[in-house]
Amino acid sequence: MTSITQMVENLVRPEIRALSAYPVGDASGMVKLDAMENPHQWSEELKQAWAKKIQHADINRYPHPQAPKVKDGLRKAMNVPEQFDCLLGNGSDEIIQLLTMLVAKPRAKVMAPEPGFVMYKMIAIFCGVEYVGIPLTADFELDMPAMLTCINEQQPELIFLAQPNNPTANLYSESQLRELIQASQGLVIMDEAYLPFSSRNHLHFLEEFDNVLVMRTLSKVGLAGLRLGMIFGRSEWLNELDKIRMPYNINVLTQISAEFALEHYDILLGQCELIKQERTRMQNALTELGFTCYKSEANFILARADMAFEGQAKEIFEQLKRHNVLIKCLAGGHPLLENCLRFTIGTEGENGLLLEALKDIL
């Protein structure tokens, strides 16, 4: 008789067995500054108006398979021209998976600059597609010769460019992005997860290039719990993606809640303005404490603890946990992130607690 361990070994690909599930730290009771969420609550009035909508949800029925009202709401809130199609995902994670499945075939390649969003690589592995990560330069810019060589020699089917990038929080040069898109025979995804905090968007690339799609999410603007990602672009691409999408991937409660929230999108954008103000304050405060802070176009700050406290990023992370503050430690991951920490911007109060804890620790 074959043991269950052997059966798993026989049936599950080694690269899947070698993976660890996406790590999510236990944040119960902590100041949660690890996952780039919007920390602001809704007013009681808004919550009540939302609850009224939810009351009328037909949860005995399957959701609308195309969620047209959500798509209309998104287009209006984000000023996306009618000519571009929209497809929704259960978070943009699901859309990354759909895109990777779309191009998956033997020897297909997905490429992204690194350090970058970990799910590009994870999902490539899930789908049995080769992943090629091209290191950024030491100051987190695109290494153009390396990127262009990879594009020309390996011809990746899919390229992910997060703008702003996670975890480096920066925007690359727009002319360099154009050069990459022009050089690529593959599909280029502009991942604008952090758009609400950024000084630039890339919707115009949809008009300029046939091989670009623009992906966004409601997670960072304040609706991470709803799990709603979206991708805009030419229907030639999105019609193909739609064929491999699960029929009811956006549930009834998410659809009703998103429709409601998008009618009040200005409130969410107002909260993002507060986060941007706090970002400036935190950059100054962390710099004063001795961290090297990189310029941020997102709702988090990448900081290196290499001036006053060399080699201590992990220790600072652990000590912050003991002070009930959860951030993200990037040390020990990508070599370019040696001694780096990522601080999500919280409310003024939460950021104050972080700074107090840091002063205590340092």
Q: Is 196 in the site for ligand PMP (CB under 6 A)?
A: no
Q: Is 99 in the site for ligand PMP (CB under 6 A)?
A: no
Q: Is 123 in the site for ligand PMP (CB under 6 A)?
A: no
The first and second tokens of residue 83, run together, are: 């000519």
The mark string for 6-45 relative to ligand PMP (x by CB under 6 A, - otherwise) is ------------------------------x---------
Under 8 Å CB-to-CB from 182, ≥6 apart: which residues?
209
Sheet holding 292-293, edge to edge: 292-293, 300-304, 340-344, 328-329
| Interface pick for ligand PMP out of 33, 98, 117, 195 (rule CB under 6 A) | 117
| Interface pick for ligand PMP out of 38, 166, 271, 296 (rule CB under 6 A) | 166
Distance of CA 103 to the CA centre of its chain: 21
The mark string for 39-78 relative to ligand PMP (x by CB under 6 A, - otherwise) is ----------------------------------------
- The distance of closest approach from Cβ of residue 129 to ligand PMP in the complex, given in angstroms and rounded to an integer, is 18
Q: Which stretch binds ligand PMP (CB under 6 A): 58-66, 90-98, 106-114, 143-151?
A: 90-98
Sheet holding 130-135, edge to edge: 85-89, 229-233, 212-217, 187-191, 158-162, 109-114, 130-135
Q: Is 113 in the site for ligand PMP (CB under 6 A)?
A: no
Q: Is 316 in the site for ligand PMP (CB under 6 A)?
A: no
- The distance of closest approach from Cβ of residue 262 to ligand PMP in the complex, given in angstroms and rounded to an integer, is 15
Q: Is 162 in the site for ligand PMP (CB under 6 A)?
A: yes
How many C-beta atoms lie closer than 10 Å to residue 210's C-beta?
A: 11
Q: Which residue is nearest to ligand PMP (CB)?
A: 91
Burial of 53 (0-12, 13-18, 19+ CB in 10 A): middle
Whole-number Å distance between alpha carbons of 347 and 349: 5
Whether residue 187 contacts residue 211, with contact meaning beta carbons closer than 8 Å, is answered with yes
Whole-number Å distance between alpha carbons of 80 and 77: 8
- The distance of closest approach from Cβ of residue 162 to ligand PMP in the complex, given in angstroms and rounded to an integer, is 4
Under 8 Å CB-to-CB from 167, ≥6 apart: which residues?
115, 300, 302, 328, 330, 337, 340, 342
- The distance of closest approach from Cβ of residue 153 to ligand PMP in the complex, given in angstroms and rounded to an integer, is 26
Contact residues for ligand PMP, defined by CB under 6 A: 36, 91-93, 117, 162, 166, 191, 193, 217, 219, 224, 229
